[in-house]
Amino acid sequence: MTGIGAVVLAAGESRRMGEPKLLLPWGKVSVLGHIIQTLRQAGIEDVLVVTGAWRDQVEKEAVKFGARLVHNEIFASGGMLSSIQCGLRAQLPETRAALICLGDQPQMQAEVVRAICDAYRQTQARVVIPSYANRRGHPWLAEKGLWQEILHLPPDATPRAFLSAHAKEILYVSADPSILLDLDTPEDYQQQRPEETR
């Protein structure tokens, strides 16, 4: 997937989980490791992990799987938008579009990532989002022409507001329910983790 980079949002404090959820076992690897492996399986060569809380542990884990790193200095106050902005600033010059991926979504499927990237390459749509039952999910893709707008959003803005502003430009790709899942609580983890992790 030359020209498409992935921004993995891994700066969260895992308050509801009570421990760094990106480091929890998922199959034979960690949650974060599985996400990076899934992106690689989908053909994404440049995977950038945005760190914040639990920085040392998360960076050590990301490096094990060959990801690049950037640290969000204002992760505690800036929320998800600040991590997206941090990740976009650190994209490689040749990158034409960025996949915005959740660091706590090991349910992400490589075939969904490929479908999003293929849709972008075939149509050059400015925004590509997977959907299931008329609901938007992750990861979603933004082409480079929109990055400056995202970078200049005020601190109180949200990714959802940005996407709503570009509603007419969004190309939706049908996907399975995995695009709506993530890990927020210990209950989520216990219910969704793979059998080999139980």
Examine residue 198 and state whether it is found in any structural domain, yes or no: no
> How far is Cα 35 from Cα 103, in angstroms, rounded to an integer?
7
CATH of the domain at 147: 3.90.550.10
| Residues 6+ positions from 94 with CB-CB distance below 8 Å | 3
> How far is Cα 3 from Cα 167, in angstroms, rounded to an integer?
24
One digit per residue, pLDDT tens: the chain, 198 residues? 679 999 999 999 988 898 899 999 999 999 999 999 999 999 999 999 999 999 999 999 999 999 999 999 999 999 999 999 999 999 999 999 999 999 999 999 999 999 999 999 999 999 999 999 999 999 999 999 999 999 999 999 999 999 999 999 999 999 999 999 999 999 999 999 998 776
Examine residue 181 and state whether it is found in any structural domain, yes or no: yes
Q: Where does residue 146 rank: exposed (0-12), middle (13-18), buried (19+ CB within 10 A)?
A: middle
Q: Hey, what are 56's tokens?
A: 């040392």
> How far is Cα 45 from Cα 1, in angstroms, rounded to an integer?
7
Query: What total number of domains does the chain contain?
Result: 1
Examine residue 180 and state whether it is found in any structural domain, yes or no: yes
Examine residue 43 and state whether it is found in any structural domain, yes or no: yes
Examine residue 47 and state whether it is found in any structural domain, yes or no: yes
The pTM (predicted TM-score) of the whole model is 0.96
Q: Strand pairing of 25-26 and 127-132? A: unpaired
Reply yes or no: is the peptide bond before residue 154 cis, omega within 30 of 0. no
Query: For residue 133, what are the domain limits?
Result: 4-192
Examine residue 197 and state whether it is found in any structural domain, yes or no: no
Q: How much is the pLDDT for 106?
A: 98
Examine residue 127 and state whether it is found in any structural domain, yes or no: yes
Phi/psi region, residue 43 (left: phi>0; alpha: psi -120 to 50; beta: rest), is left
Specify the 3-state DSSP secondary structure of 99: strand
